[in-house]
Structure 1
Amino acid sequence: MPALTPGAVFAGYTIERLLGAGGMGEVYVARHPRLPRSDALKVLAAQFGADDNYRRRFEREADLAASLSHPGIVAVHDRGATEGRLWIALALIDGTDLSAALRAAPGGFAAGEVARAVTEVADALDYAGARGLIHRDVKPANILLARTGHYLLTDFGIARMGPENSDLTGTGMTLGTIAYAAPEQLRGLPVDPRADQYSFGVTAYHLLTGAQPFTGTNPVAVIMAHAQQPVPSVRPRRPDLPPAVDAVLARAMAKSPEHRFPTSRDFAAALTAALRESAPRLAPTALNPAQPGRLAATTVNPGTTGNRSFPRAAWLVLAVVALLALGALGLRAWWPDAGAEEAARLPRVPVTPILPSLAQRPGTPVWTLPGDLPPGATPSGVSALGGDADVVLFLREYYPESGARVSRLEIVDANTGQRRPGTAPVLLDGEQGRPLRCVVAAGSAACELAASGSSLDTVVFIDLTTGRVAAALPSAGRIERLLAAGDRFVLLDRPTREPKPRTVRSFTTDGRELPPIGRSGTPQDRDTLDVFDRAGLAVFNSAPDPAQPLSTWELRVIRLSDGREIYRRATAERRADRDWNVFVAGFVVDDGESPAAIHDTDGNRTADLPDGWRPSERPTLGTDPVETSVPTAIRTSKGKTTYAGIGPDTGTVLWKQDSYGVDDSPGTVPLRGVGTLLLTSSDNGRVVDAYTGDYVIPGVVGQGSVLGTDGTRIAVTRSTSGSGPRHRLEVWSGDGEVWHIESEQPPVAIAGKIYLGDIRLL
């Protein structure tokens, strides 16, 4: 079977690009068939799938690996066999493996970086070993340096349960890489976690020196060296390292397992202590965690500055002063990696649609909706109104041979383009209004019908299994937002008659109205009521009651899934847009009295914003307010605006960026377009990673509505002027526009897919 090409579908995954290849097979970045994410899909070489014994072992051990849950282990999501080839799907890590990093640093890595790497990986190895799982292939290529600066262990696909005997190895079979394998593993003997410690010791030797300890012209020579030769000293290659390092490595790589350290953590602790004794001379280049695979500046002896002597006593004084300063400032707030380390632990939560690869302009659609109009009917238009990953509702309009225009909803399988079995098209009453959008929850859909003139908008509830209309209810005037919250539908209703307080109403999936959630109050504050889809919150700014002289402004937060009020605060004055915002797991409020605080969706106060920071202005997607992936904050000083991502549970500044865009006023930096992990700042179109602050797309995206992102590029849609097509789909990367498509129908993004008229484009 040849290598898979981008766009090919394998085991349900859509191949996006080749990540790497080797003797075991290929690794691809592949789009998950149902979830809005990409995985690392490892497809083993055909000979492994042809071996029934290996297939059984692979399936069993991949299942065991999937049971591991540790921050230092790359998660296994799925496994299987397709077209005669075994495959395993793992979490996709943005970073590089240490074998690639070693090629860029032939002399090895700095002692401190190696100490950090072995400490993090050792914890992962002991975690797996305590659960009876032996990795059997620990080597630099199977250790990843994530872009966050953390080290992760990967490729448990050939691991085995320790107590079992020859089930994995078989007669005469050796798995793993010979250059790193323990002697007992090479001999086909039973192994335990100390075999991984041996391989880990070989790996540490390689990271320190840039060379493997045992080499030879053929595999037999390497195997004999592992079995018979003493561990060579690191000092010929690294004279800056003390003899204690040799002693630690020799114990970890002892020929007999019982002579090694009790655990890999013990080995890592001993190696770290030995490396601290390193002579402070010119050391090999250190890995820069912020740029995996690239090299940071080399270090020099701290006892000198240039060619001039600097007394060691002075270094001691400076160290004491630094420690006192850290105590005054707070170590966590000062430490430059604290934010990055915390960001690495946070779950990555998408905010806008995650799209398939946008690298190339589609040549053909995924599918085209079949046309089945009545005889003699004239088509008027087709558009996707909403749905989820499995179902999409299309509005098809046409003129029969006689009579007024007909609007009907078709319930379509999002993956095949065929009408869902058992459903019939839903004919809509034209007098109720024209369908604008639909949302889906718990097997039902709610669709908004926008009325003309003084008529009232209507919401129609549809059973997606049968296509039956369960209910059709009028609004109080105009429907401003319609969304799904848990197992209910929620709409933001604005009356057309005075008084005009906006109301949040909720309904069961069959159209029964639930008790009202609340109303915004008097007309003057109606623009401060917002509902947030991903966080499932409504925020009310209620004005003082003229009939109650002592009443004040109130800021209230309601949870949409159950209508519970989770926050209420009386304030001396109205809280403006810059005083609060919402993120996917809660909200941030500056009430004008106590410190600005972060709250979760139960209303619990989880952290305060750091001193000098206030909530950033609420972001929007198009015209609708949206959440960000993490809390965002802003501060202004001397005309310079700085915005930041904040740890939701600690208040730690995860990252910060100065904003000098021409459209960024000193007072506010509104966040506009958001992606999986992305935020765009103001109208200058810069896109940054919400967890690291790194610029992803620094160029101008332009004005338009953001449809989604593939993690590298973003798709936006805009209306055009003049003659020709009325809509334009554009894809942008950091280098500018990648491609575009002009069309009469507006592009629509639904659950990670893009629809254009009657076709599914992506």
Structure 2
Amino acid sequence: MPGPTQTDPTLEEEPSNADLDGFGDDLKEGTQLLGGQYTILGFLNSGGFGITYLAKDSLERTVVIKECFPNALCRRSTSIVRARSRKHQVDFRSFVSSFVEEARSLARLVHPNIVGVHQVFEDNDTAYMAIDYINGKDLHDVLESTDQAFTPDEIVEMLKKMLSAVEFIHQAGILHRDISPDNILIDTTGNPVLIDFGAASEQGAQATRVLTGRRVVKDGYSPQEFYLTGAEQSPSSDLYALGATFYHVITGKAPPESQRRLALVAEGSPDPYEPLDGRFPGYPPGFLASIDKAVRVLSKDRIATAADWLEVIRKGEAGELDPVAEPASAPGARPQTQGAVASNMGYIIGAGTVFVVAAAFGLWSMTR
């Protein structure tokens, strides 16, 4: 497949990021899938929804295999994946069906900044995706390895590419729902590639137990609506996560957790978010302000679409007046008027209540 997604034709040296020891639930090295079409080389990663492996295909190319393995619902018996109990059977089979359906949707996405899905298949009573192997490191690891990973020009270009990818999936009717530094790979040419669509869903999908079970929240990156079961999610939800990711790229840390921000606004305290605009030189006019707007607490106050965001950046680079550039709030200042808070008080209080209850019981997120 053309573009940044690369396959390694040589298998004499195993790629260094494969863990050949793995964990108890993973498939072991040498396990064959789909009648020998794929052979597992080693364990890569695992989360609440699945296990990822390094593998080779029948043409000796390195690929990544993602196995549908919602560990709260299933267990492994030899190679076969089974529901944990009879009461989990229906939810597990629904989860597998949903995995296959979403994987087929993703397989139709061909974009230079989106990981390619080669094949979707079922084996071992569960489902799998064969995905491009990207030769590179995830953005989280890059940021952890140095204080100044990218120049302002590189950050602008990287965000433009990610916005192009996000707009592409949104136009296809898909929300990623898990954009964060660890789900953006930087290949050996410096090109960013969006990966891990395990939490993805079709826009407007009805809230089901399966979809709720696939909900991922990551403190600092997830918008406040991701914490609320049944809350409406939209393209601006992905844009919040993308903005938070690039806030981290620029400042070296993620912004304050969105539920905490929402709760403080609800009680009349200042939003602890510290705006980027005016603090960092070297960026086009309106660029930093656009990130600040993308990570507003309430979705109605954010940039609505990736296309709108790209247009803001284009106008800034062209020296035209930026329509979203607004005077930046001083650090710690209240970003909303009393009228704006009052008009959303019912929504904010409801969300703030969930925040307080969640904090009391320690149920902040579904960790992966």
- TM-score if structure 1 supplies the norm length? 0.32
Question: Which gives a bigger RCO, structure 1 or 2 (Cα 8 Å, sep 6+)?
Answer: 2
Task: Name the structure where helix makes up a greater proportion of residues.
Answer: 2
2:196 maps to 1:155: yes
Distance in 2, matches of 1:250 and 1:168, equals 33
CA contact (8 A) 1:115 1:268 kept: no
Larger radius of gyration: 1
Distance in 2, matches of 1:115 and 1:28, equals 32
1:117 is matched with 158
Flag structure 1 segments of 5+ consecutive residues without an equivalent. 216-221, 278-762
Distance in 2, matches of 1:54 and 1:167, equals 10
The 3 A distance-change label for structure 1 pair 197 and 134 is same
1:84 to partner: Cα distance: 5.4
2:84 maps to 1:43: no
Flag structure 2 segments of 5+ consecutive residues without an equivalent. 1-23, 75-82, 84-91, 266-270, 320-368
The 3 A distance-change label for structure 1 pair 255 and 168 is farther
Equivalent residues in 2 for 1:178-217 (5 A)? 178-187=219-228, 188-215=230-257
1:3 is matched with 26
One of 256, 260, 263 as aligned partner of 2:298: 256
One-letter amino acid of the counterpart of residue 247, structure 1 = A
CA contact (8 A) 1:72 1:124 kept: yes
One of 33, 55, 75 as aligned partner of 1:30: 55
C-alpha offsets along residues 617-656 of structure 1, whole Å, 9 cap, x if unaligned?
Answer: xxxxxxxxxxxxxxxxxxxxxxxxxxxxxxxxxxxxxxxx
Equivalent residues in 2 for 1:482-493 (5 A)? none
- TM-score if structure 2 supplies the norm length? 0.63
The 3 A distance-change label for structure 1 pair 70 and 245 is closer
Distance in 1, matches of 2:317 and 2:124, equals 49
1:98 to partner: Cα distance: 0.6
Distance in 2, matches of 1:8 and 1:124, equals 34
The 3 A distance-change label for structure 1 pair 194 and 208 is same
The 3 A distance-change label for structure 1 pair 118 and 169 is farther
The 3 A distance-change label for structure 1 pair 25 and 244 is same
CA contact (8 A) 1:30 1:40 kept: yes
Distance in 1, matches of 2:297 and 2:137, equals 31
The 3 A distance-change label for structure 1 pair 48 and 208 is farther
One of 151, 154, 177 as aligned partner of 1:136: 177
One-letter amino acid of the counterpart of residue 208, structure 2 = D
1:253 to partner: Cα distance: 1.4
1:120 to partner: Cα distance: 0.6
CA contact (8 A) 1:66 1:78 kept: yes
The 3 A distance-change label for structure 1 pair 18 and 159 is same
- Partner of 2:66, secondary structure, is strand
CA contact (8 A) 1:8 1:14 kept: yes
Distance in 2, matches of 1:152 and 1:130, equals 18
What RMSD in Å do the two structures reach over aligned CA positions? 3.2
CA contact (8 A) 1:97 1:141 kept: yes
2:273 is matched with 231
One-letter amino acid of the counterpart of residue 133, structure 1 = I
Distance in 2, matches of 1:170 and 1:208, equals 33
The 3 A distance-change label for structure 1 pair 191 and 152 is same
Task: Name the structure where strand makes up a greater proportion of residues.
Answer: 1
- Partner of 1:88, secondary structure, is strand
2:338 is matched with none
One-letter amino acid of the counterpart of residue 233, structure 2 = V
C-alpha offsets along residues 264-320 of structure 1, whole Å, 9 cap, x if unaligned?
Answer: 13324535776999xxxxxxxxxxxxxxxxxxxxxxxxxxxxxxxxxxxxxxxxxxx
Distance in 1, matches of 2:158 and 2:25, equals 36
C-alpha offsets along residues 471-524 of structure 1, whole Å, 9 cap, x if unaligned?
Answer: xxxxxxxxxxxxxxxxxxxxxxxxxxxxxxxxxxxxxxxxxxxxxxxxxxxxxx
2:107 is matched with 66
Distance in 1, matches of 2:212 and 2:113, equals 33
1:230 to partner: Cα distance: 5.5
One-letter amino acid of the counterpart of residue 186, structure 1 = Y
Equivalent residues in 2 for 1:617-656 (5 A)? none
Number of aligned residue pairs: give it: 269
The 3 A distance-change label for structure 1 pair 239 and 149 is closer
- Partner of 1:43, secondary structure, is strand
One-letter amino acid of the counterpart of residue 37, structure 1 = R
